Amino acid sequence: MSYISNIRKHRPFKNQRSNIVAVIFLCFFSFLFRSTTTAAEIFPQNSNSEFIIDTFEDGNLDREPLWWQFGDIDVTISVHPSNAPSYLSKYSMKIKGNANEWYVGGVGTFCGADLSKFNAIKFYVKGKGEHSGTLLIEMYDDDNNNWELEPHPKIPSQPLFDDRFVYTKKVDWNGWKSVTIPLSHFSDVNPNIGDNIWNPNHKNSSGGLLQIQIILIAADKYIVPEISIDTIRIIRLNEIKEEPLRAPQFQDWI
């Protein structure tokens, strides 16, 4: 396997929203991937019935898969207590941090997977109540068939050739909850870039779903947001309850 990973920790500039947006996106493209291996080598636990991005069962964020982080986010692995819900694995990923104009930071991982037979993302989320925060989930598919994300030279918040799909999920509950989001509910937030079609497949040498990123946004300027995540997987639902397509929250960060 060969992919380029220039890991850097970026810090937002204080009180400069436009600069923060640029920094967020530059963080995304500190990880430009060019892969010569299959997703099965990165995610060996997967089957035809689902694509597991991470169960966090190995208690490690540095391999299979590698999770990068950006912004002022604090990312740790937590061990579940003995009385935790039985559907959880042994470990989960906890993200928290101080917000700068609501934005905290995020995590991301490379996929390079053909997800054309799946239609939803499912994961377990633990909140700490009303002000836990909001998750901004991003997925990038490969439209120029080179297994790589290139930054746009004039629009720092967008890739140059590939689609960027976003969904925001407010976490305002206490304890663990299963969250399932149909992929059709994600919004294409760069309509003038890419082919504007959710097509994460390996046709014509495409890398499919190149990467997924999860960004933490504060719910209150004076309360530190904190959310835990366990077992992220892409699945196929037999039925999808469609909802009116909505623009994601926090347009300033998109």
In a domain, 41, yes or no: yes
In a domain, 8, yes or no: no
Q: For position 47, what pLDDT does the model report? A: 67
Q: For position 22, what pLDDT does the model report? A: 42
Domain count for the chain:
1
In a domain, 9, yes or no: no
Rounded distance between C-alpha atoms, residue 10 and residue 229, angstroms: 23
Q: For position 251, what pLDDT does the model report? A: 54
Instruction: Decide: 179 and 169 in contact? Cβ < 8 Å.
Output: yes
**What are the start-end ranges of the H helices in 82-214?**
none
Q: For position 211, what pLDDT does the model report? A: 93
In a domain, 177, yes or no: yes
In a domain, 162, yes or no: yes
In a domain, 65, yes or no: yes
Q: For position 151, what pLDDT does the model report? A: 83
In a domain, 63, yes or no: yes
Rounded distance between C-alpha atoms, residue 92 and residue 109, angstroms: 15
- For the entire predicted model, the pTM comes to 0.81
Domain that holds residue 224: 17-78+87-249
Residue 108: CATH number of its domain: 2.60.120.430
In a domain, 98, yes or no: yes
Q: What angle do CA 168, 173, 178 make, to 5 degrees?
A: 70
Rounded distance between C-alpha atoms, residue 252 and residue 254, angstroms: 6
pLDDT block averages, 10 residues each, the chain of length 254? 26 33 44 45 65 95 94 96 93 97 94 94 97 96 86 80 91 97 92 85 92 96 96 92 64 52
Q: Residue 226, class by beta-carbon neighbours within 10 Å (0-12 exposed, 13-18 middle, 19+ buried)?
A: buried
